[in-house]
Amino acid sequence: MKNFFALLLCLTFLTPLFAQHHHHHGEEPHFCHQVEETEKYFESLSPSEQAEFKANEDALRQFRDHFIANHPELLQSNGNRSISYTIPVVFHIIHAGGPENISNEQVEDCIRILNNDFQKLNNDANNVNSAFLPIVADVEIQFKLARRDPSGNCTNGITRTFSNLTFGASGQQRVSLVQQNHGNWPGDRYLNVFVAADIGGAAGYTFLPNFSGMGNGIHVLHNYVGGIGTANFQTSRTMTHEVGHWLDLPHTWGPTNNPGLQSNCDSDDGIADTPNTIGWTTCNVNGESCGSLDNVENYMEYSFCAKMFTNGQKARMHAALNSAVGGRNNVVSASNLQATGVFDPDILCRADFDANNRVVCPGQSITFSDLSFHAPNGWTWNFPGGSPSSSSDQNPTVTYNTPGTYAVTLTATDGTGSDTQTKSGFITVLPEGATLPFLEGFETYATLADSPWSVNNPGNNAAFEITNNAAHTGEKSVRLANFGQSAGNTDELISAPVDLSSITDNVTLTFRYAYRRRSNANNEWLRVLISNNCGNLWATRMNRGGNNLGTLISTNSWTPSSKEDWVTVHVTNITSQFWVNDLRVMFRFESDGGNNFFLDDINIYSGGPSELSISEEINLTEFNVFPNPADKEVNVQFHLSNDQHADVQLVNMLGQTLDSFPIQGKSGENLVLISTENYRAGVYLVRVSTGDSQQVRQIVIK
Question: How large is the average pLDDT for residues 516-536?
Answer: 94
- Cβ neighbours, 10 Å, residue 648: 23
- Contact 38/1 with Cβ under 8 angstroms? yes
**Which fold, 7-258+311-339?**
Collagenase (Catalytic Domain) (3.40.390)
Strand partners, 567: 513, 669
Q: Which residues contact 220 (CB under 8 A, 6 or more apart)?
A: 193, 194, 195, 196, 199, 203, 204, 238, 239, 242
What tens digit of pLDDT does each residue of 443-486 get?
888 999 889 999 988 777 899 999 999 999 889 999 999 999 98
Residue 150 to residue 212: CA distance in whole angstroms? 15
The confidence band for 258, taking pLDDT boundaries of 50, 70 and 90, is confident
Q: Mention every residue, 6+ apart, whose C-beta is less than 8 A from residue 338.
A: none
Among 210-219, 353-362, 387-396, 515-524, name the one with the lowest average pLDDT.
210-219
Rounded Cα–Cα distance for residues 316 and 298 (Å): 15
**Strand runs (DSSP E) across 229-377, as ranges?**
353-355, 359-360, 364-370
- For residue 17, pLDDT beyond 70: no
Contact at 8 Å (CB) between 530 and 583? yes
What residue ranges in 182-248 does DSSP mark as E strands? 191-196, 204-207, 218-221
On the question of pLDDT at 566 being above 90, the answer is yes
User: How far, CA to CA in Å, does 273 sit from each of 120, 295, 312, 526, 552?
Assistant: 17, 9, 6, 53, 60
Is residue 9 within 8 A of residue 33, CB to CB? The reply is yes
The pLDDT of residue 210: 78
Report yes or no: 336 and 349 within 8 Å, Cβ to Cβ: no
Give 558's pLDDT tier (boundaries 50, 70, 90).
Answer: very high
Dihedral sign for Cα atoms in the order 253, 257, 261, 266: negative
| pLDDT beyond 80 at 18 | no
In CATH, what number does 609-702 get?
Answer: 2.60.40.2550
pLDDT digits (tens, 9 = 90+) for 351-388: 999 998 889 999 999 999 999 999 899 999 999 999 99
Amino acid (1-letter code) at residue 380: T
CA dihedral 484, 488, 493, 499 (to 10 degrees): 160
pLDDT tens-digit readout, 602-628: 989 886 323 222 233 346 777 888 888
Start-end ranges of CATH 2.60.40.10 in the chain? 355-429
pTM of the predicted model, to two decimals?
0.71
| CB distance 133 to 311 below 8 Å | no
CA distances from 664 to 165, 525, 604, 611 (A): 36, 25, 11, 10
Q: Which amino acid is at 443?
A: E
Q: Where in the sequence numbering do the catalytic residues fall?
A: 242
Interatomic CA distance for residues 254 and 244, integer angstroms: 14
pLDDT recorded at residue 41: 67
pLDDT of the residue at 50: 86
Q: How far apart are CA 238 and CA 226, in angstroms?
A: 9
- Taking only the tens place, the pLDDT of each residue in 23-56 is 333 333 334 454 355 456 667 788 898 888 889 9
Domain with CATH 2.60.40.2550 in the chain: 609-702
Q: What whole-number percentage of the chain has pLDDT above 70? A: 91
CA 606 to chain centre: 35
What's the gap between Cα 317 and its chain centre? 31
Q: Which fold has domain 431-607?
A: Jelly Rolls (2.60.120)
Residues spanned by CATH 3.40.390.10 within the chain? 7-258+311-339
Sign of the CA dihedral 94, 243, 171, 232? negative
Please tell me the least confidently modeled range out of 147-161, 193-207, 367-381: 193-207
Secondary structure of residue 628 in the 3-state scheme = coil
The predicted pLDDT at position 352 comes to 94
Q: Which is nearest to 449 in space by CA: 436, 466, 432?
A: 466
pLDDT of res. 243: 96
Compute the distance between CA of residue 78 and CA of residue 493 in angstroms, rounded to an integer.
62
- pLDDT tens digits for 628-686? 888 888 888 888 877 888 888 888 866 678 888 888 888 888 888 888 888 888 878 88
Superfamily of domain 355-429: Immunoglobulins (2.60.40.10)
